[in-house]
Amino acid sequence: MKIRRNKQQSHHPKVRLPWPIQWLGMLVDLCWGAFGLLICCFFIADFLFPHPNLVNGQFVPLERYSTLVRSHDGVPLRHFADSKGVFRYAITAEQVSPFYLKALFAYEDRYFYQHPGINPLSVGRALGQWLTHGKVISGGSTISMQVARILTPHERTILGKATQMFRTIQLERALSKDEILSLYLTYAPMGGNIEGVEAASRRYFNKPALALNDAEASLLAVLPQRPTSYRPDRFYQRAIEARNKVIERLQSQGEISAENAQSLLHEKLSLNRGESPFLAPLLARDLHVIYPDRALIDTTIDSAIQLRVEALVKNQANLWEPRASAAVLVVHNPSHEIRGWVGSADLFNAQRFGYIDMTQALRSPGSTLKPFIYAIAIDKALIHSASLLSDSHQKFDQYAPANFDSHFYGNVTAMTALQASLNIPVVVVLQALGAEQFEHLIRATGALLVHKETNLSIALGGTGTNLHSLVQLYSAFANKGVVYPLKVQPDTLAQTHRGVPLFSEGASWIVWDALNHVRRPTGINTTRPIGWKTGTSYGYRDAWAIGVSGDWTVGVWVGRPDGAPHQNAYGITYAAPLMFRIFDALPKDQHPIHRPDTVVDKLICWPQGRAVAQTKPDACEQKFEAKTLNGWTPPTLPSQLARFQPNQPTADDIQRQQRIDLKITSLKAGSHLFRQPGILVPLKSSCLNPCPRKLNWYLDGQLLSQPRLDLDKIRNNSAVVSVSDEFGNSDSVTIYLH
């Protein structure tokens, strides 16, 4: 049976809500619809107008960051602005003073980590102030909104503010809060061409942002609000007043105590009013070219050593001709790190071609390769330290070298020939060794040798190399004969490189010990053990001096970068004094060079060159104490036996003959002279041997253009007059003026 129900009974009667609740519901529905429409509009706008700095959810800067090159002890060497001349360094919150972050949040955006990029309360407050006063009283911008405005600038209009909010949401959607904070720390305007807290900290206070004190941090927290008006280097009092607002805000929010606030309010700012750092400028320039996208480039340079070396080079350059330049490398032997790098005498001196880095320039090495020929020959059992060599006129096919002073000194030991830098003996040894084999061994270390054909002239500078290669080679004398790549950055592959053995530890020590006993230039009183060698290329184009102690290798080049002759510029007179002064400025050696057990003293006989025990008594005409490798006493090279004569000058004998003892004759030490306008005192000297063509006269260390004194122009009551020649000889007198 089908039951029929009354439709009226099954129908629920409609309940009419009060009209306020109905309107509230309609408003909620409208808001949800508007919100949904807003979301749809955002995604459409996000698709049509993507943020220029966001690619696949990652921030990509449109401009390269600035580059800071710094020493191994954290001291800035040189800053490089970006392509628009702005100084800006990428930085994170961990690299900033914690008090700076506290001040920033207290003054700019207390709820940075709570809001979604836009703080409705702040925006509402700013809108109400604008409607009430008809002008902007406070912006209501959060840190996220400020980053959005910095990255994509807009006009200060309602449409501009809407655009700013849109860009802010784009950033908040793609990046974390910490990433957005890092962008603010990097890009916030800090006055002029300074952006970001790191650049501002270094510019205004000469320190990294992590080292800011509380007073400095408070100022940098408020500086982006009015970066031009609050610049402390221009408007100090105005900057102090702005800083104090931040401190008072921190106190009112309970972030600091009243006592702390009072102390900070009265603290003065110590501003950096000096110039931007400018150490090792050519090295920094080269590294910036190699790594243009790096914001921070660390080096192995020691800032203290670099400062001293640059000052020494500058002082010495004042005594040289106007077009002469210099290059210096200082290497720490145990670590193979370059601690000092000077590429030119003066970067800004176009006359000296100061923009050219001469540490890398291809030049003739002069005599600086001689020690390596002897060391390799000892290792190959061709010679020992006292092997007989003849310094006499000899021809090698069509090659007939001569000594620098055009004299010959007869029979000499191998190490005497090296100490006196004689040319014929080293060519004899290279011929026995083989120029091709020598070249192969040198190039295997990574050192540079450039020439058209390999021949014996390599021994006397007939090739091309650079200061970097020579210093790298010489450092082997402190590293048991092993050549290591030099490091100028702490993260280079050279750090784990095992090095290339060039000769044995014994051969290395024998040669280094001989160079350590070379007579030093007049006036040099350094007591540090240093094996050193000078070199002068053909035509006085290059003057070299390279020295090795236990911890340090110092290489010096002096010359004209344009390749023109630098008349009378010898390694001994120009490069060596500078090298020894640099050694005096270096820390003491902690790793002395020790004589190895493989070096054995043997009594040997000339002319055969063998040990006394291996020589018949009637064949032993002269005996010498020789330093040998493992006791080996190789016989005299056949080409030298026939040239034996019963004489053997020592290195001191030869150097004494090469020396020209100078004496100032026109002035007596302690003379009292009277100033008279127009009276010029001629300067004269005497020599034991014929004087060289040119003598250099100095007044209180300044080179005189003519050998005469104008007493009326000397400012001091006393003066030092000195003269020097190309062999390192000199004389000086002190005079008194009335």
Active site residues per annotation: 108, 367
Peptide bond between residue 607 and the one before it cis (omega within 30 degrees of 0): yes
- DSSP, res 2: P
Element (H, E) at 238: helix 236-252
* Three-point CA angle 84, 87, 93, nearest 5°: 130
Query: At 17, which amino acid appears?
Result: L
Q: Classify residue 18 as exposed, middle or buried by CB count within 10 Å of its CB (0-12, 13-18, 19+).
A: exposed
Nearest alpha carbon to residue 416 among 578, 648, 235, 231: 648
What separation, in Å, do the N-terminal and C-terminal C-alpha atoms of the chain show? 149
List Cα–Cα distances, 194 to 191, 201, 220, 226, 258, in angstroms: 6, 10, 12, 13, 33
At 114, which amino acid appears? Q
Who contacts 148 (Cβ-Cβ below 8 Å, separation ≥6)? 164, 165, 167, 168, 170, 171
Which tokens hold the place of 282? Answer: 């050519």
Strands (E), 1-107: 54-55, 58-59, 67-70, 76-80, 87-88
Closest by CA position to 524, among listed 593, 589, 572, 478: 572
**8 A C-beta contact, residue 91 and residue 293:** no
Residue 260 CB contacts under 8 Å (≥ 6 apart), including other chains: 214, 251
CB 526 within 8 A of CB 588: no
- CB-CB neighbours of 413 under 10 Å: 27
Contact 487/300 with Cβ under 8 angstroms? yes
Query: Alpha carbon of 198 to those of 65, 76, 207, 276, 295: distances in Å?
Result: 12, 12, 9, 14, 11
Q: Hunting for tokens 């690619």 — which residue is that?
A: 55
* Residue 718: how many other CB atoms lie within 10 Å: 12
3-state SS string for 533-558: EEEECHHHCEEEEEEECCCEEEEEEE
Q: Is 259 left (phi over 0), alpha (psi -120 to 50) or beta?
A: alpha
For the chain, how big is the Rg over CA atoms in Å? 38
Q: What are phi and psi of 627, to 5 degrees?
A: -95, 120
What is the three-state SS of 452-484? CCCCHHHHHCCCEECHHHHHHHHHHHHCCCEEC
In angstroms, the CA 41 to CA 708 distance is: 89
